Amino acid sequence: MEKRIVIPRIVVRPILPPPLEIGARIRPQWLHWQVGRYREKLSFGPGGQGKARVWVPEREGEQHNLILTQFYDSLIPQYGFIGPSQYAAVGTGSTAPDPSQTQLASEIGTSTSPRRTNVVPSGESNEIEALATYGEYNIRRVFEFTEAQVGGLNLTEWGFSPVSSRNGPLMTRELFRDGSGNPIVLTLATDQRLRLIYRYKVTVSPTSPQDVSVTIGGDGPGIRTAKFILTGAFSQTSSSGNYEDIPLIRNGTYNRRRGDLLVLDTFVAADTRRGLGMVGVLTEAAPLTYEYNPTTIYYQAFAKRLSYEAPVGRSRRASVLLQASDYPSWTIKSVFISGFVNDSARLLPTCNLVFDDGQEFTKDNLHKLFIGYWQVTWGP
């Protein structure tokens, strides 16, 4: 009987890096509450004697807090990381805080006359504080309730929300507490005000180059390897366009260290109103360093918008489809999402995807080109 020798077939496939994924972590920091009054103060200067109103805290404290589950699950996909804290709310309920809660236990005001506030006191400001570690930011809010809103009340609870309506959804809910963490009642006189200074922390990544794989035009041979990084670049100059619709960013503000956060804030909410989040391509390598001089990286490119998918859990992904007439005969080395655009042609790279050597490809004028996916995942 003839013996047959079977030689096993061994297929060697290259190990691809993971798909492109962007992370965002959002955590509570602390609340500084103040009960006080405005008092008149005499001032003397070249113009003579004058009067000024000075805020005088008469009782204050600092405390930690928790962020509610609905912030991650429903508010971020609607309002981004920054928008959910646009209003402060207070109430008289004493129920212990729990992450599953969605509103205050007993908010002051009525449905027709809410008493939420987004008033920033004179001399204070809301802002995005860039921390020492790349990709880390504190969102800082300073809001004040007037005597007409809270004077003469006994307040026990507070929260922050994206909307002004009473019992609208909250991102955080807590009881007022003393320095030992015990719940307290803030009893305000009829001529006293309440000021809330709140910070929460957002950390985005990666802020150093990561090996990733990207789909170009489909599966299989269309997968390319690349490096990916977020950069902090946002403004090229101190008068970089009108961003009035972006919370905490105002026209003429110089923001070299906020581009990554602002682009992702636009991304997670699928916000197409802003100039942020436009896509461009380059024939050379986009910067693979977190901080770079934007005056030397100012590209002419055809701006394309990302196409966003519906959120799945605590993540959202997007892609871009280039038309046949876009970038004809370009050998594409980099694809990026812009942290700054002042018209349809000039983009500042912030979310930078740079194809490895030998992975570049040429775009012709006969075919459309699909590039995907960018994916942002967020959580505590």
In tens, the pLDDT along 39-53 reads 987 666 566 666 778
Each residue's pLDDT tens digit, 273-310: 666 678 888 898 999 999 887 665 555 556 788 999 99
As a whole number of Å, the CA-based R_g of the chain is 26
The share of the chain scoring above pLDDT 70, in percent, equals: 81
Q: Is 73 helix (H, G, I), strand (E, B) or coil?
A: helix
Average pLDDT, the chain: 86
The share of the chain scoring above pLDDT 90, in percent, equals: 61
Q: What angle do CA 260, 264, 267 make, to 5 degrees?
A: 145
Task: Kindly give the residue spans of alpha helices, DSSP state H, lying in the chain.
Answer: 69-70, 76-79, 147-150, 259-268
Query: Does 206 sit behind a cis peptide bond, omega within 30 degrees of 0 on the bond before it?
Result: yes
Whether 328 contacts 342, CB under 8 Å: no
| Nearest Cα to Cα of residue 135 among 221, 75, 207, 217 | 207
On the question of pLDDT at 255 being above 60, the answer is: no
Res 238: pLDDT: 39
The alpha carbon of residue 226 and the mean position of all alpha carbons in its chain are separated, in whole angstroms, by 25
On the question of pLDDT at 92 being above 80, the answer is: yes
Res 344: pLDDT: 47
Q: Quick one: average pLDDT of 190-207?
A: 97
Q: Which of 169-173, 196-200, 232-236, 269-273 has the lowest mean pLDDT?
A: 232-236
Residue 346's pLDDT band, with cuts at 50, 70 and 90, is low
Full-model pTM: 0.88
Res 190: pLDDT: 97
